[in-house]
Chains A and B, each alone.
Chain A
Amino acid sequence: MDTVVLVAETRDGSPIGHVLEMCAAARKLASGVTAVVWGEGAAAAAPFLGAHGVTRVCDVGDIGDALPPPRVAAAIAGEIDRGGVDAVFAAATYDGRDIAARLSARIDRPVITNVVGLELEGDSLVSSHSVFGGSQLVRARFTGAGPAIFVLRAKSFASEEVGGPPPEVASASIGELAETDAARIVARHAESRSGPSLDDAKVVVSGGRGLGAPEHYALIEELARLLGGAPGASRAIVDAGWVPYAYQVGQTGKTVKPSVYLAFGISGATQHLVGMKGADHIVAVNKDPAAPILAIADLGVVGDVHQVLPKLVEAIKAKS
């Protein structure tokens, strides 16, 4: 393949980990890897992206208070117009998915989501998709005219530094966007969160509806803190408003791959399992012996979360 274009989201001037994974996936398939970046100072990430195999950076520049999707999709469409683009990769993040969707309708190409593997078979791209909580793997061939747009699941490809040279940096051509670009951010609210992020944590401690009440989530946070990990949550308690959306582990939340995943009061709906079954070790505590999560755990405890969780917290405190 000639070129893959990456939707390269950065945070505080550095590409998010998922982008580096996409670099590795793209490099294995194509000779050229173009990263489209946006935001003030994002182009400074170019040398780092180069080290991960990016050969060209297309910089949208500072977007001020606009939402990224219309402008970034326009920039990618501009890269496609230059020729040679066979595929576009986006990360399954808030903005990544919206950018892929904007681009899809703009250039009339489908978005292929939930991708956990990609390979070339002859001239066509074959993607693998983990479905039904990861119990089944679907392989599908893209049959249309390119470029195809793929939304990749986090932690499906290993990032790898290859020591490439700094890539050329070009300014994006955006063109006229009219009404599509009319939304503006008037205030930003960041919730303070201490400890490692869900993406990077070596230990993730998650709670679900089995906790019984929102106030019991405090013990999940305490255990996560004691273990130097990050607290997570099932969709059920996010939907119920106990914790913010950013805590959600699962198909529509974060995909985590920690060394140890501890699940309390989570039954293990397919929605949740797909986001955490890549953990090296899993411990699950649930009062229902038929809870699906027990079947994938290294240690499944059939028991009362309100007994096991406080005792575990106390025992760890006593140890330290």
Chain B
Amino acid sequence: MDIAVCTKQIPGPDVPSAFDESTKTLMRSGALVLDDSDSYSVEMALRLAEQAGGGEVILVSMVPDGATAGLRTALAMGAARAVLVSDPALAGSDALGTARVLAAALARTGAELVLCATESSDGYTGTVPVQLAELLGIPAVTFAKRVELDDTGVRVERQTEAGYDEVVCPLPAVVTVTAGVVEVRYPSFKGIMAAKSKPIETLSLADLGVDPALVGVLGARQEVLSIEAAEGRSAGTIVTDEDGAAHERVLDLLVTWGVL
């Protein structure tokens, strides 16, 4: 059984988050890397495919400019191939626009199970996976901490406010994987070398038949009016615990604030 993983390539963690002054969208400068959040869903997909005794792990991603560095990382981990939608019109896409494009790309993979992270590390909206499921007309189970395949479909332990629920769901389905729930493998040297020649199918919006007006800045239907520094907290006191008595200052404050 083939498993698709939606992956996002984002600026590296060393690039500070900032807005592009002219477009008022998130700056995406410098080399892009595989979103760390996605490494868990890639790992989960590889394990499920191994346990199922076959099937490919297929990456699905979108960028405005053909970038592939992040995809190569996931290919080096063991994914078989990637479908990359690359089109300048994608710049500034919101979550629904993104879901639209990924849904069209996923339809070409034939994968029955679609894994995603719970949210990206740069945008944090966390709505793409369920929007994707609705566009595909299939169920979604979010916040998985454990995923297993069985005869009837997929069995998921889903995090809840109180603990977790065991959820069963027939395929096809979208499942979002919580960060940290599996140990992510490091790509081996062999994997890195093999990744260089693994296929990345690059498609434009026209190839997919997606209307450019529904994606990018136009599709987002939001106009940024202003970006301002928020009202900050006034600076407090910083002390160094040289004498080993800093806990007494904390204690005094707890009394002053009426906690003790």
The chain B residues found within 8 Å of chain A, CB to CB, are 17, 19, 94-96, 99, 118-119, 124-135, 137-143, 145, 159-170, 173, 178-181, 219-230, 232-233, 235-241, 244, 246-251, 253-254, 257-260
Contacts and interface: CB of A to CB of B under 8 A. Distances in A.
Given A113-B126, A136-B19, A139-B224, 20 more contacts: A67-B139, A69-B130, A102-B131, A104-B127, A110-B95, A110-B222, A113-B125, A114-B125, A131-B17, A136-B229, A138-B226, A139-B226, A141-B223, A179-B137, A188-B163, A188-B166, A283-B250, A302-B239, A303-B240, A311-B247
A308 B253 contact: no
B232 A252 contact: no
Interface stretch (A78-86, A160-168, A208-216, A237-245): A237-245
A303 B179 CA distance: 30
Interface of A: 11, 67, 69-70, 73, 93-94, 97-98, 100-102, 104-106, 108-114, 126, 130-132, 134-144, 151, 178-191, 202-203, 227, 235, 238-241, 244-246, 251-252, 259-260, 262, 270, 277, 280-283, 285, 289, 294-304, 307-308, 311-312, 315-316, 319
Q: Closest 6 CB pairs between A and B?
A: A303-B241, A144-B221, A239-B180, A101-B130, A105-B134, A101-B127
Contacts, number: 262
A11 B161 CA distance: 10
Given A97-B126, A132-B17, A308 B224 contact: no
A291 to B, nearest CB: 10
B180 A183 contact: no
B81 to A, nearest CB: 27
B167 A183 contact: yes
Contacts of A67: 139, 141, 167
A94 B241 contact: no
Contacts of A178: 137
A104 B225 contact: no
Contact of B127 (A97, A182, A294): A97
A236 to B, nearest CB: 9
B253 A281 contact: yes
B163 A277 contact: no
Contact of A299 (B19, B99, B130, B253): B253
Given A143-B222, A180-B134, A182-B139, A260 B259 contact: yes
B154 to A, nearest CB: 9
Contacts of A104: 95-96, 127, 131, 134
30 contacts: A94-B142, A98-B130, A98-B140, A101-B128, A104-B134, A105-B131, A110-B94, A110-B95, A113-B126, A114-B124, A130-B230, A131-B17, A140-B222, A142-B221, A143-B221, A178-B137, A180-B133, A183-B169, A188-B165, A189-B163, A203-B259, A246-B159, A246-B163, A281-B253, A299-B238, A299-B249, A300-B239, A301-B239, A301-B246, A303-B240
A319 B165 contact: no
A138 B247 contact: no
B2 to A, nearest CB: 19
Contacts of A138: 19, 224, 226-227
A176 to B, nearest CB: 11
**Which of A93, A105, A280 is the most central at the interface, judged by chain B CB atoms within 10 Å of its CB?**
A105
